[in-house]
Amino acid sequence: MQPTDSIYVAGHRGLVGSALCRELRRKGYTNIITRTHRELDLCNQQAVNAFFASQRPDHVFLAAAKVGGIHANDTHPARFIFQNLAIATNVIDAAHRHGVRKLLFLGSSCIYPKLADQPIKEEYLLTSALEPTNEAYAIAKIAGLKMCEFYNQEYGTTYWSAMPTNLYGPGDNFDLETSHVLPAMIRKFHEAKLDGHRPVTLWGTGSPRREFLHVDDLARACVHLLELRDMAPRLVNIGCGKDLTIRELAHMVQSCVGHEGEIFWDTTKPDGTPRKLLDISTIRGLGWKPTIDLEEGIMRVYQEYARQ
């Protein structure tokens, strides 16, 4: 990519998209194209094709998606599969039709089987059943990455698929109905601290293990992949290579927030996948590694949240 190339960041106001915009500007890219949902509905094929025909971006980062935690995925599976399938289908096909040189499709580690061997290698995709609570989202993301793979195969395109682990960072979603586990914990512990350090109740047993990556590290990885020269695109895991239990995470967040009350675990609620740790040997072999420590990253996010 050249500094003056036009780069469309789909989903630029989301957690990942905003981080991509920050990283691109940090690296000196000056021609970044963005559109809000009001300006461009990515589920509308005609609108997406018209946008690509008029703007002709050189490169695309496809970070737009309908996302949420266990509760949101379990409650609205039809919305999750429809919107994510539509976004992937419309953007990837329009990119091909209108001469986009490079594209990066953002997925999620939930594409992998529920009981995959750990750490999870890219080749474990589609080897056994998915986690039921986010199956709709996962199937849509699998379709998107396979679309990239098959367009590369048939049309000779250069479309990468990046599968990040659980993400957190600036601009995260703190809505308890739709947020992921880490921002939800930050909000719950913060509000409990303000309410006299009352007890906090969290879902599940606390035993599942999860890996967390700061979104700024992910953005560096994504830009790095599209900057690679003469490299065949592929599916690439992006994570930090370390995990911890949800219970350990809860105590880390509680410490960062300064909450001094008790923690109760509602074991009637689902745990989700027992463990999700990504094998990141591929991305490390391509010259990238994470830089932001989890506790340091949580503290940064909490300080911003508390100020707001």
Q: Which of 137, 151, 168, 302 is catalytic?
A: 137
Per-residue pLDDT, 160 = 98
Q: By C-alpha distance, which of 304, 272, 281, 295 is closest to 71?
A: 272
Whole-angstrom Cα distance, residue 93 to residue 89? 6
Per-residue pLDDT, 272 = 75
Per the annotation, binding residues are 11-17, 106-109, 141, 164-167, 180, 188, 203, 210, 271
Residues of the chain with pLDDT under 70: none
Q: How far is CA 170 from CA 15, 35, 240, 257, in A?
A: 7, 20, 18, 16
Per the annotation, binding residues for NADP(+) are 11-17, 106-109, 141, 164-167, 180
Per-residue pLDDT, 229 = 92
Whole-angstrom Cα distance, residue 100 to residue 13? 22
Per-residue pLDDT, 287 = 96
Per the annotation, binding residues for substrate are 188, 203, 210, 271
The reply to whether 137 belongs to the active site is yes
Beta strand 235-238 with 159-164: parallel, antiparallel or unpaired?
A: parallel
Homologous superfamily (CATH) for 6-172+211-241+277-292: NAD(P)-binding Rossmann-like Domain (3.40.50.720)
Per-residue pLDDT, 178 = 76
Whole-angstrom Cα distance, residue 10 to residue 104? 10
Contact 10, 64 (CB under 8 A): yes
Cβ neighbour number for residue 198 with a 10 Å cutoff: 12
Q: How far is CA 29 from CA 117, 123, 259, 289, in A?
A: 39, 33, 41, 22
